[in-house]
Amino acid sequence: MASLQDQLRGLVYSTEHGDICPNCRQPQDDCRCTELAEQERLATLDGIVRIRRETSGRKGKGVTTVSGVPLASKELKALAKALKKRCGTGGSVQDGVIEIQGDHRELLKAELERLGYTVKLAGG
């Protein structure tokens, strides 16, 4: 008899198991891809939070990005919410990087240093 892995190969949805992860081919309830990606992201950090201003790919609109924060996904979203509130603007978290609309580098640097992070202003 074929293993569960062989049975699920090529499937996207199964009435028996529900949604199937496209990466590991396991049922979504058993998938650990997100956890493994989060652990890998946290393992590659050097302990320095980098703040930079970016406009590329945003039709000239500037955003301030905060990368290298050694927090898990839920804590990172909570920090992003607090930083957005402090700056009085919108933003998001994408792939472990906090994006804040507008140029708020100095304010974010002061706030993150107050929270105990080692901060560097990167880029221009």
Residue 8 predicted with pLDDT over 60: no
- Per-residue pLDDT tens over the stretch 37-46: 888 877 887 8
Reading phi first (left if > 0) and then psi (alpha if -120 to 50, else beta), residue 68 is in left
- Per-residue pLDDT tens over the stretch 85-112: 999 999 999 988 999 999 999 999 999 9
**Where do the CATH 3.30.780.10 domains begin and end in the chain?**
40-121
List alpha helices for 1-124, DSSP H: 4-8, 33-43, 73-87, 105-114
Global pTM reads 0.72
- Per-residue pLDDT tens over the stretch 31-64: 888 888 888 877 887 889 999 998 877 777 889 9
Report pLDDT for 123: 75
Q: Which residue has the tokens 């990005």?
A: 65
- Superfamily of segment(s) 40-121: SUI1-like domain (3.30.780.10)
